[in-house]
Chain A
């Protein structure tokens, strides 16, 4: 994967590239992504993968943290329900993460910037098309600056 540095100055330029942080479970989605690579599938390089043991390991605060650090989109991907390597990790994730997304949405953080998916180790193709799709969406949504850039109290009317 090629990586291009994206700076604030470039964000309006033609070479702006969304920054997508992906939390992948080790056993399914990470392996699926690996398979995509081994299958020499093309998919956008905007995605940056954090490998975790399980989607159940994804603390919702990682998502917030990623946005805080300037991610334009966050993806959490795990095993399909029933397939969890740890038997129920993805079931826990399936309760917490969507609830967290609701909370973010309620507070005005665009829930479209937070994706959740199930990709199995065999779904290399699903992985590449998923990444292509969400990257496309990230482009459409544009850079997400409201949250990371709000450290200084703004004067509001």
Chain B
């Protein structure tokens, strides 16, 4: 991979301090690698940059193109083999790190978190940024950047798309999703990019029994996406990467948002806000809602 970060002349103050922090951590052996964002020619979004030397850290950038969620790399054995991982995280990315911590995928001491305060990325801002509850990543080893006014998450906006869908009749919904799922080519990019899809063996790959039909017809596609959405229920932090990477533009985020909203509504739960939270499907309360039970 060809890194172009060094070519960028006028680094912002955040980037300066980011590079300094990363170079320092690498130099004093705190970490074996810092995973951050770099600019690569031909890509309109920032790409991952693995800095293993202080010099390489000079290539780190932080700007509106830094959309991706780098937490995806944390569980990977080949990354862990590089030594302690330094990770540049935005607030939204930190939520994914928190879920990984809560699910014992990584241990806190295995990572060095370089938090960057972020008001939102992309122009116009992504959906996830407008509803983001964590602009200021807390609990990181280093936190950089000017403090960002914490805008109240726009709940109505967060639920607007879901509400729009729910306003439709059953048949209309069925038709909508049938149309969407028909497009699915079962490339599993959604799975690959999801920082929380870290299973050694995905359920789709379990054949005895065959939980999900693997051939890319509508019924299998539906089953896969139901499973995917349900496995992320109470866990998905809404980074939106799945939808972003979907080659056929299935609105996967809509399903995740539906379930995340449900968790918040039923169990007052938002995923990834803290590393020691209790996932809603691993606990219960005698006073849980009884709706729709005969």
Contacts and interface: CB of A to CB of B under 8 A. Distances in A.
Direct A/B contact, Cβ within 8 angstroms:
yes
Interface stretch (B47-55, B119-127, B191-199, B286-294): B286-294
B255 A151 contact: no
User: Which of A101, A102, A108, A148: most chain B CB closer than 10 A?
Assistant: A108
Given A64-B226, A94-B293, A150-B178, A102 B286 contact: no
Contacts of B292: 98, 101, 111, 116
Contacts of A104: 226
A106 B230 contact: no
A125 B287 CA distance: 27
A151 B221 CA distance: 9
Contact of B281 (A92, A108, A147): A92
Interface residues of B, number: 46
A5 B229 CA distance: 35
- Name the interface size band of chain A: 35 or more
A34 B191 CA distance: 44
B166 interface: yes
Given A94-B284, A116-B292, A150 B258 contact: no
Contacts, number: 118
User: Which of A60, A61, A147: most chain B CB closer than 10 A?
Assistant: A61
A103 B170 contact: no
Interface string A54-69: 0000001100110010
Contacts of B166: 106
Interface string A69-105: 0000000000001100000100110111011111111
Given A82-B286, A95-B280, A130-B294, A107 B222 contact: yes
A109 B293 CA distance: 18
Contacts of A109: 170, 174
Given A103-B229, A116-B292, A151-B218, A108 B176 contact: yes
A109 B172 CA distance: 11
Interface in A102-157: 102-111, 115-118, 130, 134, 146-148, 150-154, 156
Contacts of A115: 294
Interface in B213-228: 213, 217-220, 222-223, 226-227
Contacts of A81: 286, 290
Contacts of B165: 106
